[in-house]
Amino acid sequence: MRTTTAATALLAATLAPLALSAPTAEHHAQRQHQQQQQYVKLHKPTGAPSIAHSKDFTSFSFEPAFWTEFFGEAETPNQLTLSLLSRLSERGARPVIRPGGITMDSMIFDPAATKSAVRTTNAKGGVYRTTIGPSFYKAWDNFPEGTGFVSTLNFGNDSYDIARDLAAASHRYQRDKIRHFELGNEPTNYVSTRWQNKTDAYVAQWKDWTGRIDAELDNPKRSWWASSATTDKTGLEVRPAALIPAGIDDQKQVGQYSIHSYAFATCDPKRDALATIPNILNHTHLLEYADVEIYPSAKAALDEGNQWIVGEFNSVACSGKPNVTDTFAQALWTVDTDLIYAERNASAVYLHQGATLVFQSSQQSNTAGDDGGPGFSAYSLLYPVDSSKRGKARVNPGFVGQLFVTEALGTERVASLPAPKGVDSDYFAAYAFYDRDEGKKIRRVAAINSKPYYGKTGGNKRDSSDNAVHLDLSSLMPAALKGKKAWLKRMTAPAVNETDTARVTWAGQSFKQAVPEGKVDIERVPKDGKVEVRDSEAVLVFFYEDDVFRQ
């Protein structure tokens, strides 16, 4: 067990009789530095805690065209991806899987297809069509027990039969595993002649088709996601905030309103230049995007007494950015972003996985593989198979962020804590997790110091406490636990831009092959509640031993 917090060092320094250590000049300077260390108090949240969350809060979206790469065939599943999902389910999470994204709008069901999912592409890897067969649905049985799915339907081809056949097939093979239906992905990006930019025209066709499918399949009420819009400025206004007044839910069909969140992009050179590590970790910017672009739609849904979700999201649209989203920065981004939406009462967030889509933008910085094969998205949790573009199959550094959020949120309520005085609020966020029943008792606290840290030593060593925030958590502890030591798990890496997953750890362990490597390291927080969080590090403090997952 490691006790390297500066608090412990300070304690030791104070207790050690000065005469014993015959201090060198260097020692002396170091001690003075530690004594000057200012611990800033984290104060209780000012806002109300969120709704109590569900085990499916951290869910996933997988581009259907690359389903086979991520999950294999029904008889020969991809163990790397399934093992990664098991790391989450053993911690109590039950992610829902959405085989969704741009390619769901050119997906068809062929009852005679022998493979799960087959792409029809051009030489450069552009996907015209994805054909799925019965084994696509049968493969759902390979997922961890209790995994639910979204039955995603093609709206892009404007063929009722294609959409209905997909819905009917999902029903025939996996009725019990379907949690929601979704008709179309990002209708904001369809050809604008389809609905002439008229929200009402979109709503009329959506209601017509979903109503007919509900009748044919005898679906229960509220089976559907609605909207699935991006926040791009387009001629067609179909975010939930626009669809709700237009009467999308007249027939009580909508179970959850879905909106897609991408605050950064590599889709064109102008936005590519802004997709940097310092920008994606700027908490103020992430909050601004959430409150300006996403929350009005969330609020419209909540005001209707309905649920809302982030039905697809990731850090950098158009498949991420190498050396940014395939680094440890992605883990810090994940934790902060998930918790921003959890506090705003999202019922779930679906982190998107996939590969570069050549037809998405002619100006994007990413490409498919040289052989026309998948150029796996640099924001993906893993590169699911060996590829010319990304090398060996492996888990990416961002994955530990999922472990952090899973253990932090559980099924609890969350509220953000204001950044303490003197701490840079562009690069700091903290959250308290309240018990799900009454929402009164703080069980856990997360602190994310997202200030980019590029390392000094180049090795695995922690540097001096210059590049750190020093927090005093004592005022957050439940009264009954005052004077007791808490437990702490740390998410860290030698530097923010670390790309080697073997050097990125959660509670001391790394997960490059989706299995834990190394010994679990659960630190103890001293009785005075003092904690050091280095720049580009996040910690999760547990006040109750029962909450500490040990493996």
Ligand X SMILES: *[C@@H]1O[C@H](CO)[C@@H](O)[C@H](O)[C@H]1NC(C)=O
Residues at the contact surface with ligand X, assessed by CB under 6 A: 48, 50-51, 106, 108, 128-129, 156-157, 192-193, 196-197, 235, 282, 284-285, 288, 302, 322-323, 344-345, 426, 454, 495, 497, 499
Q: Inter-axis angle of helices 328-343 and 399-409, to 10 degrees?
A: 30
Of 85 and 275, which has the nearer Cβ to ligand X?
Answer: 275
Of 302 and 520, which has the nearer Cβ to ligand X?
Answer: 302
Q: Inter-axis angle of helices 160-174 and 199-217, to 10 degrees?
A: 40
CB of 374 to ligand X, least distance (A): 17
Q: Inter-axis angle of helices 6-15 and 25-36, to 10 degrees?
A: 120
**Max CA separation in the chain (angstroms):** 86
Cα separation, 142 vs 78, whole angstroms: 10
Tell me the sheet residues that pair with 395. 382
Of 213 and 329, which has the nearer Cβ to ligand X?
Answer: 329
Cα separation, 264 vs 232, whole angstroms: 11
Cα separation, 259 vs 238, whole angstroms: 10
CB of 35 to ligand X, least distance (A): 30
CB 462 within 8 A of CB 439: no
The angle formed by the CA atoms of residues 203, 206 and 209, to the nearest 5 degrees, is: 145
DSSP 257: E
| Residue position matching structure tokens 């000065």 | 18
Of 43 and 436, which has the nearer Cβ to ligand X?
Answer: 436
CB of 52 to ligand X, least distance (A): 9
Of 110 and 547, which has the nearer Cβ to ligand X?
Answer: 110
3-state SS class at 433: strand
Of 300 and 514, which has the nearer Cβ to ligand X?
Answer: 300
CB 326 within 8 A of CB 373: no
CB of 284 to ligand X, least distance (A): 4
CB of 529 to ligand X, least distance (A): 27
CB of 107 to ligand X, least distance (A): 9
Of 163 and 405, which has the nearer Cβ to ligand X?
Answer: 163
DSSP 143: S
Cα separation, 365 vs 272, whole angstroms: 7
Sign of the alpha-carbon dihedral angle for 389, 394, 400, 401: positive
Of 211 and 235, which has the nearer Cβ to ligand X?
Answer: 235
CB of 198 to ligand X, least distance (A): 9
SS3 sequence of 44-92: CCCCCCCCCCCCCCEEEEECHHHHHHHHECCCCECHHHHHHHHHHHCCC
Of 282 and 307, which has the nearer Cβ to ligand X?
Answer: 282
When CB distances to ligand X are compared, the closest residue is 235
CB of 447 to ligand X, least distance (A): 19
Q: What are phi and psi of 486, to 5 degrees?
A: -100, 175
Sign of the alpha-carbon dihedral angle for 334, 237, 188, 254: positive
CA proximity to 501, closest of 486, 487, 516: 516
Q: What are phi and psi of 216, to 5 degrees?
A: -65, -35
Of 180 and 283, which has the nearer Cβ to ligand X?
Answer: 283
**Rounded CA Rg of the chain:** 24
Q: SS3 breakdown of the chain: % helix, strand, coil, rounded to 5? A: 35, 25, 45
Of 304 and 426, which has the nearer Cβ to ligand X?
Answer: 426
CB of 191 to ligand X, least distance (A): 8
CB of 455 to ligand X, least distance (A): 8
CA proximity to 313, closest of 364, 283, 273, 348: 348
CB of 106 to ligand X, least distance (A): 4
Of 110 and 521, which has the nearer Cβ to ligand X?
Answer: 110
Cα separation, 537 vs 71, whole angstroms: 31
Q: How many CB atoms lie within 10 A of CB 136?
A: 29
Of 76 and 122, which has the nearer Cβ to ligand X?
Answer: 122
CB of 190 to ligand X, least distance (A): 9
Write the DSSP assignment of 186-203 as a string of letters: -GGGS-TTTTTT-HHHHH
Q: What are phi and psi of 416, to 5 degrees?
A: -85, 150
CB of 364 to ligand X, least distance (A): 13
Looking from the CA of 239 toward its CB, the CA atoms found within 13 Å total: 20
Of 255 and 397, which has the nearer Cβ to ligand X?
Answer: 397
CB of 193 to ligand X, least distance (A): 5
